[in-house]
Structure 1
Amino acid sequence: MHDYKIRIYHEGKVDFYGYGSDSKAQAEIPGDYILSKMPVFYNPVMKLNRDIAVYTVRTYQILTKKSLRICEPLTGCGVRGIRLAMEVNGADSIIINDINPMAYDIANRNVEMHNLRDKIQVFNEDANLLLSKNAFPMKRFDVIDIDPFGSPAPFLDSALRAISKNNGLLCLTATDMAPLCGVHTNACIRKYGGVPLRTTYCHEIAVRLLISCSVLTASKRDIALAPILSHSTDHYIRVYLKTISGAKNADEMVKQIGYLVHCNHCHFRQLKPGIANSLSSVCPSCGDDARIAGPLWCGKIQSREFIAQVLENSKADGDKRAIRLLSLILEEADAPATYYDLHSICDQLNLPCPALEKIIHPLKEKGYSVTQTHFKNNSIRTNAPVSEILKTIRKAQ
Structure 2
Amino acid sequence: MDVKEVSGEIPLKEEKSVCNDPSVVKEGKAEILLSSSKKVFYNPVQEFNRDLSVAVLKLFAEDHRETLKNKKKQADPILRFLDNEIPQEGVKYEGGIKILEALAASGLRSIRYAKEIPGVNSVLANDLSAKAVESIKSNITHNGVDDIVKTNHEDASMLMYSHRKPTHLRFDAVDLDPYGCPSIFLDAAVQCVSDGGLLLVTATDMAVLAGNSPESCHTKYGSISLKNKACHEMALRILLQCIESHANRYGRYIVPLLSLSADFYIRVFVKVYTGQVICKRSTSKLSLVYQCTGCETITLQQLGIMRQVENHIKFSLPAGPPVGQKCKHCGHKHHVGGPIWSDPIHDGDFLARLEHLVSQEKVNLKYGTAIRMEGVIALLREELLDVPLSALLNAGYRVSLSHACRTSVKTDAPSDLIWKVLRAWEVIHPVKRDRLAPNSPALAILSGDSDKKEGAKEGSESSDSVPEVSFQHHPDANPPSRRRGLVRFQENPAPNWGPGTRATAMTESNRNNPKREKNQGRKRERSSPGISNKVLRVE
Cα gap change, 1:15/1:249 in structure 2, threshold over 3 Å: closer, same or farther? same
In structure 1, runs of 5+ residues without a counterpart are 22-37, 341-358
User: Which of 184, 192, 197 does residue 226 from structure 2 map onto?
Assistant: 197
Identity %: 30
150, 174, 184: which is aligned to 2:180? 150
Q: Could you tell me which of 34, 37, 44 is aligned with 1:18?
A: 34
Q: 3-state SS of the aligned residue for 1:151?
A: coil
Is the Cα contact below 8 Å between 2:261 and 2:404 reproduced in 1?
A: yes
Q: Residues 42, 226 of structure 1: CA spacing in aligned structure 2 closer, same or farther, 3 A cutoff?
A: same
- 1:289 corresponds in structure 2 to 333
Q: Does the 8 A contact of 2:238 with 2:340 survive in 1? A: yes
Report if the CA contact (8 A) 1:6-1:20 is conserved: no
CA distance in 2, matches of 1:62, 1:388: 49
- What residue number does 2:289 align with? 260
Residue 130 of structure 1 and its aligned partner are, at CA, apart by 1.2
2:108 equivalent to 1:76: no
Pairs aligned (count): 354
Q: Equivalents in 1 of 2:278, 2:401: separation in Å?
A: 32
**Residue 375 of structure 1: CA displacement?**
0.5
Residues 265-318 of structure 1: per-residue CA shift (max 9 Å, x gap): 234212221167633553354442112111111111111111111111222224
Contact 1:335-1:369 at 8 Å conserved across structures: no
Which residue of the partner structure matches residue 26 of structure 1?
none
Partners of 2:127 and 2:373 in 1: CA distance: 27
Residue 205 (structure 2) pairs with residue 161 (structure 1): no
Answer with 1 or 2: which has the greater Rg: 2
Matched with 1:141 is 171
Cross-structure match for 2:474:
none
2:251 to 203, 222, 226: 222
Cα pair 1:181 1:203 within 8 Å, conserved: yes
CA gap 1:107/1:20 in 2 versus in 1, 3 angstroms: closer
Matching residue of 1:115:
144
**Alignment-derived partner of residue 41 in structure 1:** 41
Question: For 2:43 and 2:117, how far apart are their aligned partners in 1?
Answer: 22
1:298 matched to 2:342: yes
Corresponding position of 2:50:
50
Quick one: distance in 1 between partners of 2:55 and 2:229?
A: 30
Q: Secondary structure at the match of 2:351?
A: helix
1:93 and 2:122 correspond: yes
In the TM superposition, residue 389 of structure 1 has moved relative to its aligned partner by 4.2
Counterpart secondary structure, 2:26? strand
The Cα shift of 1:388 comes to 4.1
Other-structure match for 1:356 = none
Pairing partner for 1:377 from 406, 409, 418: 406
C-alpha separation between the residues in 2 aligned to 1:120 and 1:389? 57
Comparing 313-322 with 111-120, which one deviates more in the overlay?
A: 313-322
Q: Which residue of 2 aligns with 1:310?
A: 354
Q: Answer yes or no: is the 8 Å Cα contact 2:384–2:410 preserved in 1.
A: no
Q: Does the CA contact (< 8 Å) of 1:229 and 1:303 recur in 2?
A: yes
Deviation at 1:105, TM superposition (A): 1.1
Query: In structure 2, what residue type is equivalent to 1:59?
Result: L
The aligned amino acid for 1:63 is D
Moved more, 377-386 or 96-105: 377-386
Please state if 1:321 is matched with 2:372.
yes
Superposed displacement of residue 368, structure 1:
2.9
- Return the offset for 1:396: 6.8
Whether the 8 Å contact between 1:225 and 1:250 is mirrored in structure 2 is no
- Structure 1 residues 333 and 18 mapped into 2: Cα distance closer, same or farther (>3 Å)? farther
Which residue matches 1:233?
262
Are residue 104 (structure 1) and residue 124 (structure 2) matched? no
Residue number in structure 1 paired with 2:383? 332
Equivalent residue of 2:164, what SS? coil
- Write the letter of the residue equivalent to 2:144: N
TM-score (norm 1): 0.84
Secondary structure of 1:138 counterpart: helix
Return the offset for 1:7.
1.0
| Pairs within 5 Å for 1:125-140 | 125-136=154-165, 137-140=167-170
Gaps of 5+ in 2: 1-20, 69-95, 305-316, 363-369, 431-539
Secondary structure, aligned partner of 2:208: helix
Letter paired with 1:293: G
The separation in 2 between residues aligned to 1:185 and 1:19, in whole angstroms, is: 40
Mean CA deviation greater in 278-287 or 261-270: 278-287
Given that 1:282 and 1:289 are in contact with CA atoms closer than 8 Å, whether structure 2 keeps it comes out as yes
Change (3 A) 1:19 1:189: farther
Is the contact between residue 140 and residue 163 of structure 1 (CA under 8 Å) also seen in structure 2? yes
